[in-house]
Amino acid sequence: MSAGTYVLGDVAVNRMGYGAMQLAGPGVWGPPKDRAAAEAVLREAVASGVDHIDTSDFYGPYTVNALLREVLHPYAGLTVVTKVGGRRGEDKSWLPAQSVAELQSAVEDNLRNLKVDTLDVVNLRLWGANYKPNEESIAERFSALAELRAQGKIKHLGLSNTSRAQVEEALTIAPVVCVQNEYNLAHREDDAFIDWLAGKGIAYVPFFPLGGFSPLQSSELSAVAAELGATPMQVALAWLLHRSPNVLLIPGTSSVGHLRENLAATELVLPQDALRRLDGIESKGSILNAH
């Protein structure tokens, strides 16, 4: 992979990582639909140079971390990032789990299910509306995780679904090494935030690289992709890598074929005309939504 590296915590990782959420069953519930295929994806990712894997105990729940443990433990050369702050309801719903006791319990669960003494990175997943952060104080919750870090159970801390003000508050408590927020060609509310984080040496990990596109935006992306002989996802990922050096990607898939396509995005060169058209995708969506 030729996208380069960026320091996540105390380790330089390849900027193209892997998100393990889709290894769970349908609806991110239960064990993998195809166990052999899930194992093959993990092995292929690592063999291809992926050294940053994103996961959570509430994927499954628990089944994805169990799979990671069985296939990749002891995670030699890997940085495994997990997140706490959510849980799954019996109806497969996604629910907040934000109390100090719940956060502490989630860290212990991750330690046990990943079979490690120390978690590489733990993201506090905040619970805004529709993947948009709110501005409430996170001091109590982040302090609880900082205490577990001081105890040696966590190496590094991050935040997910967060605002700049919340990161600033967190930084008064403990270092922050990464932020995970929704960001893609069509949704760029975090543009200034990404640049601010880059200035502080904090990684930015966007999720939903193809989420929330209007038909007009999707058509433009597909046209650019066709001209470049690439898939829309490859172009979207390549644009994100081009956006800023502190952007780390974690596209997920349960298919080895799709994994290879995603990894190939690191080799895709975007000509200036293509970049100009891709940069205009957000405005096309604004025009459509205004009418």
Whether omega for the bond prior to residue 31 falls within 30 degrees of 0, making it cis, is no
Which candidate in 6, 59, 62, 183 is catalytic?
59
d(CA 176, CA 149): 12
CA dihedral 194, 199, 202, 205 (to 10 degrees): 20
59 included as an active-site residue: yes
> Nearest Cα to 12, choosing from 191, 201, 251, 244?
201
Catalytic positions, please? 59
